[in-house]
Amino acid sequence: MAEKKKKRFFLIDYENVHMAGLTGIEELHKSDTVIIFYSRNSDSLSFETMKKLGEAKASIKYIMVDTIGRNALDFQLSSYIGFLLGRQPDSRCYIVSNDKGYNNVQIFWYKMGERVRLIPNIHVRKATHITMPDVERALSDLTNMSEEQKSHAVELVWKHLRLESPHLSSTKVSINNELLHFFTGEQTKVIFDALKPLLKIN
């Protein structure tokens, strides 16, 4: 039941995060691509940054935003996500920025069924990402449920978690409502109790 590995793109709003956004780049793989969007306001790289980029296993690309106007970089970065997802559907895109305006971009793509996340640096995706095996482990010790029931519960939960909705509270409600269609109220509560550490449910 392991999920097939997806192509990952890290789109860096360098004007916003500068070198701090590259934290964790050494953790990436050859199959990953880092795309650095920069402008005249952020057109210099320190020697330390150049060294870090040169040692990275991931492919590095640079896109110079040379148009004038407020939020020009934001608009071009957001448009480029559509280009990437059009060429490689179901890939995973990360916007590396502290600009909360990108929330609207990830919400839009979530509704379209694609994976886009806003993170402050590259390392964060490793600390917060939930995988299907994580869900399987969380539900593996459930008692009074058959293996078939547990497998079905994993599939239902993962269906909602895999897109990483920017609205976790709404995701919890969706998971709960669907579980109630297939399990008793008591079983649903047991499943949610098992998921608490994973989802940080209070």
* Tens digit of each residue's pLDDT (9 = 90 or more) over 4-46: 567 899 999 998 999 999 999 999 999 999 999 998 776 677 7
Report pLDDT for 163.
Answer: 65
Residue 75 pLDDT level (bands cut at 50, 70, 90): very high
Residue 108 buriedness (CB in 10 A; 0-12 / 13-18 / 19+)? middle
Report pLDDT for 134.
Answer: 85
Pull the structure tokens for residue 177. 């409502």
Query: Would you say residue 2 has pLDDT above 70?
Result: no
pTM: 0.68
CATH of 8-127, one of 3.90.930, 2.30.110, 3.30.420, 3.40.50: 3.40.50
Query: Would you say residue 164 has pLDDT above 70?
Result: no
Q: How many CA atoms lie within 13 A of 108 on its CB side?
A: 10
Residue 1 pLDDT level (bands cut at 50, 70, 90): very low
- Cα separation, 123 vs 23, in Å, equals 6
Report pLDDT for 129.
Answer: 65
Percent of the chain with pLDDT over 90: 43
Mean of the per-residue pLDDT values of the chain:
85
DSSP-derived 3-state class of residue 145 = coil
Domain ranges of the chain: 8-127, 132-199
If residue 94 lies in a helix (H) or strand (E), which one and from where to where? strand 92-96
Q: Please provide the size of the chain in residues.
A: 202
